[in-house]
Amino acid sequence: MGKPHLLVAGGGIGGMAAALALLRKGFDVDVYEQAQAFREVGAGVQISPNGNRALDHLGVFHALQAVSCDADGKEIRLWNSGRTWKLFDLGAEAIARWGHPYLTVYRPDLLQVLTDAVLALKPSALHLGAKVTDFGADGDGVVLRLEDGGEVRGDVLIGADGVHSRIRNRLHGESAARFSGMMAWRGVIPMERLPTHMARSVATNWIGPGAHVVCYPLRGGRLMNFVATVDRDDWRDESWTTEGTVEECRADFLGWHADIQAMIGAAPSLFKWALLGRPPMERWTVGRVTLLGDACHPTLPFLAQGAVMALEDAVVLARAFEAFGDDVSEALARYEAARIEVTRRKVLGASANTERFHNPALATEAGAAAYVDGQWNRDAILARYDWIFADDVTRAPL
């Protein structure tokens, strides 16, 4: 058999990164995306040094950096007083330690950079308005069935169709999502609507009893990303497009610092969605079909590694096909073996951060000081993050 032709279901961050990684290694790839046009959610995403290493390997790091913000550092702040603790220095220190910076990125920009690079290599690679409804697979190949009745044949299918993946459900059965007991508010705010002291190149985690807020600049500092997560049992809708009101959001953050109130008041829209979790999977691949990104390892966003894991999956998948491409089973087995444990560890690490970010000890200044000293001292921070940022999927043995 010649080089396999790979079909990708889903043209999100993971699907487009996989297409780019495979095309760069000389494989033929087609991506089937249900959206009629790209409508990537307007929100921020943090790309840690390991993610930027993957993007550099894909040849798009500099294009992304040009439209993003390099974070100088990350900090923890206390919900009411605003007391501040350094989490870690980034900027030059990140480059010295991990070889790449930590970027805060507007998600549509990341998707655009990946898409431009894919289309430069294969202008016909992306099929929009192509909703995948089913697939078949046998020893000879795969067939993808589309909602419009069309069928497409290929050699391998990659399910990169996100947290509600049809491909995963067809391969492994429906897996019930578990409500985490939390919901999140999300907004992107023009920086000029905020007090000038807030325009800083820092990613901040505001932590408090039962809630936390993450904010950081986007697009060269012209926008502020705002994600506010709160323990709340009365909201189960996982949609990213349901709007809430300023009053409801304020009610969730009564007594929080003036900077939080400023962001709530200045957000043009506040979207709300329930955070659901799924336990890590035991296996992903069946025959010629595998999974990638949120389709196989959806995560709470509390380690900021969901999109990064999808980028890393893409790099490893393409490396496995480069090394073993004439043996599809071997390539898919090597890919899965290289990714399944590390992604499980990150998913569990993200869940473990819930307790840290929302701890009842944070209610008082004294309780918070002791808790932060215990949980965010330099050794504890390095133990939680260094292995992630240092991970180099561009070289890891397969």
Ligand X SMILES: Cc1cc2nc3c(=O)[nH]c(=O)nc-3n(C[C@H](O)[C@H](O)[C@H](O)COP(=O)(O)OP(=O)(O)OC[C@H]3O[C@@H](n4cnc5c(N)ncnc54)[C@H](O)[C@@H]3O)c2cc1C
Site residues (vs ligand X, CB under 6 A): 9-15, 32-35, 45-46, 131-132, 160-163, 166, 184, 186, 227, 293-295, 301, 304-308, 310
281 secondary structure, DSSP code = P
Provide, rounded to whole angstroms, the least separation between the CB of residue 22 and ligand X.
15
Which lies closer to ligand X via its Cβ, residue 44 or residue 80?
A: 44
Q: Measured from the CB atom, is 35 or 363 closer to ligand X?
A: 35
Helix (H) or strand (E) holding 247: helix 246-252
Q: Which among 290, 374, 364 is positioned nearest to 332, based on CA atoms?
A: 290
* The length of the chain, given as a count of residues: 398
User: Nearest CA to 188 among 108, 293, 111?
Assistant: 108
Closer to ligand X by Cβ: residue 174 or 379: 174
227 or 368: whose CB is closer to ligand X? 227
C-beta of 46 vs 290, nearer to ligand X: 46
| Number of C-beta neighbours around residue 286 at 10 A | 14
Any bridge partners for residue 188, and if so which? 225
Task: Report d(CA 385, CA 205) in Å as an integer.
Answer: 15
CB of 48 to ligand X, least distance (A): 7
* Nearest residue to ligand X, by Cβ distance, number only: 12
Q: Least distance in Å: CB of 103 to ligand X?
A: 10
For 300, counting Cβ atoms within 10 Å of its Cβ (0-12 exposed, 13-18 middle, 19+ buried), the class is: buried
Distance CA 76, CA 91 (A): 17
What is the phi/psi pair of residue 84, to 5°?
Answer: -120, 135
Q: How far is the CB of 373 from ligand X (least distance, A)?
A: 26
CB of 68 to ligand X, least distance (A): 12
Pairwise CA distance, residues 326 & 329, whole Å = 9
First to last CA, the chain: 22
Which uninterrupted H or E stretch holds 225? strand 223-231
**385 catalytic residue (yes or no):** no
The answer to whether the beta carbons of residues 264 and 136 sit under 8 Å apart is no
What is the H or E stretch that residue 330 is in?
helix 328-357
Strand partners, 149: none
Q: By C-alpha distance, which of 193, 310, 211, 206 is closest to 251? A: 211
Q: Which residue in the list 32, 106, 216, 371 is annotated as catalytic? A: 216
Residue 111 vs 368, nearer CB to ligand X: 111
Give the Å distances, CA to CA, from 152 to 6, 20, 119, 335. Answer: 11, 20, 20, 24
CB of 169 to ligand X, least distance (A): 10
162 vs 208, which CB is nearer to ligand X? Answer: 162
Alpha carbons 183 and 252: distance in angstroms, whole number: 10
**In angstroms, what is the minimal distance from the CB of 269 to ligand X?**
15
For residue 74, the cross-strand partners are 88, 203
Cα–Cα distances (Å) from 120 to 9, 60, 311, in that order, read 20, 12, 19
Largest Cα separation within the chain, whole Å, is 67
| Least distance from ligand X to the Cβ atom of residue 79, Å | 19
Nearer to ligand X, 220 or 301 (CB): 301
Which residues are tagged catalytic?
216
